[in-house]
């Protein structure tokens, strides 16, 4: 099976590439990695790496001509940048997605498409726990672009042009590497930076609750969706992935319990109303019965997320 990951140089894409190389998607024999900069190839499967801008004229057609059986569409401008750069957000998150779906349609091969959507498709006011049939009311350009792409993918699937599933990912934490332009970036920074002795700012009140999943569990969810028989997942064109609800204060308490009071003391608390407005416009917890019934994985709690990160990236305290 030919698998393509678009956005493969990103945090989730790079991890997904490695998991697929390790056998996470049964039957994957060829892997094509695509991003603006050529992603690092993986071993164990036949792997090719392409530097390409999905939004550039002709790129989507070139990728579709490779006739992938399964496409993970992870390429995106993240929330903070999409809010600050209106035109860029729509060009990448909506127009390039439409170009991809249209090119795959024209290829006539009906590939499986897994699209990384987001809980940002929702907007306030929220109930304490958001039900699966809650209406879409995005409160950011990013959320609006994700919602529109979900609808496009569902309609292209309904018409039989391709076989798509949109997965609304929780906020992924703890994200390794450098800070990015996501409004949620501090949800990783307030753990990642103190674990290596650096300061980090928490721009929202401690009682702010968030819905998160670890990178490994998120990528396992993407792979699980692809591995499910189509007839099992086809009735669910959009799924909320499983996450855990945790407050920022609980995250910091876990940091202190696992890494000590010195690490916790490295976190400052300068409010940032712009970030707080975006993050507090996202729901805190969801019903995810359908994802659970379909066997999607979930983290055991925030301490296990912190330990997962430490085992992979940070020096033990
Ligand atoms: N990380 C999270 O918390 C989170 C939560 C919900 C949804 N998502 C979604 O999951 C996907 C992956 O997230 P991530 O955290 O790995 O993001 P990331 O920013 O690390 O990776 C996205 C990748 O897309 C690439 N890209 C952007 N525009 C492109 C274009 N025009 N052509 C080709 N490549 C392009 C970027 O170069 C980048 O490598 C994104 O669609 C994101 O919106 C992420």
Report yes or no on 10 lying in a domain: yes
What pLDDT sits at residue 317? 45
Residue 196: count of CB within 10 angstroms of its CB: 11
Range of 222's domain?
Answer: 2-169+214-240
pLDDT tens by residue, 210-267:
999 999 999 999 999 999 999 999 999 999 999 999 999 999 999 999 999 999 999 9
Cis peptide before 174, with omega less than 30 degrees from 0?
A: yes
Domain of 41, CATH number, reads 3.40.50.720
- Which atom of ligand 1 has the smallest separation from the CA of 180? 19
Q: Please give the structure tokens belonging to residue 140.
A: 């950011």
Report yes or no on 160 lying in a domain: yes
Report yes or no on 120 lying in a domain: yes
**312, 316, 314: which is closest to 15 by C-alpha?**
312
For the chain, how many structural domains are there in total?
Answer: 1
Report yes or no on 251 lying in a domain: no
Report yes or no on 187 lying in a domain: no
Nearest CA to ligand 1 atom 18: 10
Active site residue 142: yes
The reply to whether ligand 1 has any atom less than 6 angstroms from the CB of 96 is: yes
CA separation for the pair 311, 306 (Å, rounded) = 9
Nearest CA to ligand 1 atom 38: 10
pLDDT tens by residue, 34-65:
999 999 999 888 999 999 999 999 999 999 99
What pLDDT sits at residue 250? 97
Burial track 244-280 (b if 16+ CB lie within 10 A, e otherwise)? bbbbbebbbbbbeebbeeebbebbeeeeeeebeebbb
């Amino acid at each position: 099976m030919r698998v393509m990951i678009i956005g493969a140089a990103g945090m989730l894409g790079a991890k997904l590439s490695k998991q697929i190389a390790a056998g996470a998607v049964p039957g994957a024999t060829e892997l094509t990695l695509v991003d603006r900069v050529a992603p690092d190839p993986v071993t164990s499967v036949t792997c090719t790496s392409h530097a390409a801008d999905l939004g550039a004229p002709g790129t989507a057609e070139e990728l579709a001509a490779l006739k992938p059986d399964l496409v993970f569409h992870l390429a995106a401008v993240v929330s903070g940048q999409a809010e600050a750069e209106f035109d860029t957000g729509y060009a990448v998150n909506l127009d390039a997605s439409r170009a991809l779906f249209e090119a795959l349609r024209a290829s006539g091969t009906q590939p499986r498409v897994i699209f990384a959507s987001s809980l940002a498709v929702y907007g306030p006011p929220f109930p304490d726990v958001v039900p699966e049939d809650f209406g879409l009311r995005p409160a950011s350009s990013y959320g609006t672009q994700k919602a529109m792409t979900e609808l496009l993918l569902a309609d292209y699937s309904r018409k039989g042009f391709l076989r798509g599933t949109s997965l609304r990912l929780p906020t992924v934490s703890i994200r390794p590497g450098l800070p990015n332009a996501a409004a949620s970036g501090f949800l990783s920074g307030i753990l990642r930076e103190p674990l290596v002795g650096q300061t980090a700012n928490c721009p929202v009140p401690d009682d702010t609750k968030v819905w998160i999943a670890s990178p490994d569990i998120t990528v396992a969810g993407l792979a699980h969706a692809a591995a499910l028989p189509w007839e099992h997942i086809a009735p669910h064109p959009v799924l909320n992935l499983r996450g855990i609800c945790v407050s920022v204060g609980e995250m910091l308490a876990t940091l202190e319990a696992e890494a000590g009071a010195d690490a916790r003391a490295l976190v400052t608390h300068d409010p940032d109303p712009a970030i707080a407005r975006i993050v507090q416009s996202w729901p805190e917890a969801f019903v995810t019965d359908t994802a659970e019934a379909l066997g999607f994985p979930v983290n055991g709690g925030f301490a296990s997320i912190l330990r997962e990160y430490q085992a992979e990236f940070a020096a033990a305290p």
